[in-house]
Structure 1
Amino acid sequence: MMAKLSVLGLAMAVAACGSVSPLTPPDGASLPDTPYGADQTPTADDLLRRDALAAPERSVELRRRSEERQDDPFDLPPE
């Protein structure tokens, strides 16, 4: 019986980890200063958003089936 209660308590604790709430800085702290040349201070969501260079989209199509490899003239054995 005790094992079931501990598993239930663990499951409830893990479920509580997934709560969603807006991000705010801790008490006594503030968001970073306004970047040079910016009109306004970015919000927490703005700071978490990645630009295209940080997470580029895949630009090549994945192979869907096996294909013979072309001969690679630079694939040489070690000397």
Structure 2
Amino acid sequence: MKKAFAVLTMFALSAALAACGSKKPLTRPAGDPVPAKPATAETAPDSDALVTPDSQARPNRNDEVLKRSQRRQDDRFDLPPTD
């Protein structure tokens, strides 16, 4: 009986968590002031521009696998520690 209760509880919790997500686009609440225009911008950004990350926030990844081994060049700054 405890096992069935635990399974039902887990099912109910997972169903409740699945229902939390919303798929509709973001909108500004009524009466909320528009964000101030940045000093260097020509126009104030719209809501899409505000939620789109720039290239510094999401850099491109380089997942290319090393195809051939290469010897490292000598590093003149790779010095042994001093006492």
Distance 2:51 2:16 in 1: 26
**Which structure has the bigger radius of gyration?**
2
In structure 2, relative to structure 1, the CA distance for the partners of 1:26 and 1:65 (3 Å cut) is same
Structure 1 residues 3-26: Cα deviation after superposition (integer angstroms, max 9, x where no partner): 112111221122123321111234
- How many residues of Structure 1 are paired with residues of Structure 2 in the alignment? 76
- Residue 12 of structure 1 aligns with which residue? 15
Distance 2:64 2:80 in 1: 28
Give the % identical residues: 42
Higher relative contact order (CA 8 A, sep 6+): 1
What RMSD in Å do the two structures reach over aligned CA positions?
A: 3.0
Distance 2:79 2:64 in 1: 26
Q: When the two structures are superposed, what TM-score results if normalisation uses the length of structure 1?
A: 0.61
Deviation at 1:65, TM superposition (A): 4.5
- Contact persistence 1:34–1:42 (CA under 8 A): yes
- Residue 2 of structure 1 aligns with which residue? 5
Unaligned runs of 5+ in 2: none
The runs of at least 4 aligned residues of structure 1 exceeding 4 Å deviation read 60-63
Q: When the two structures are superposed, what TM-score results if normalisation uses the length of structure 2?
A: 0.59
User: Is the counterpart of residue 70 in structure 1 residue 79 in structure 2?
Assistant: no
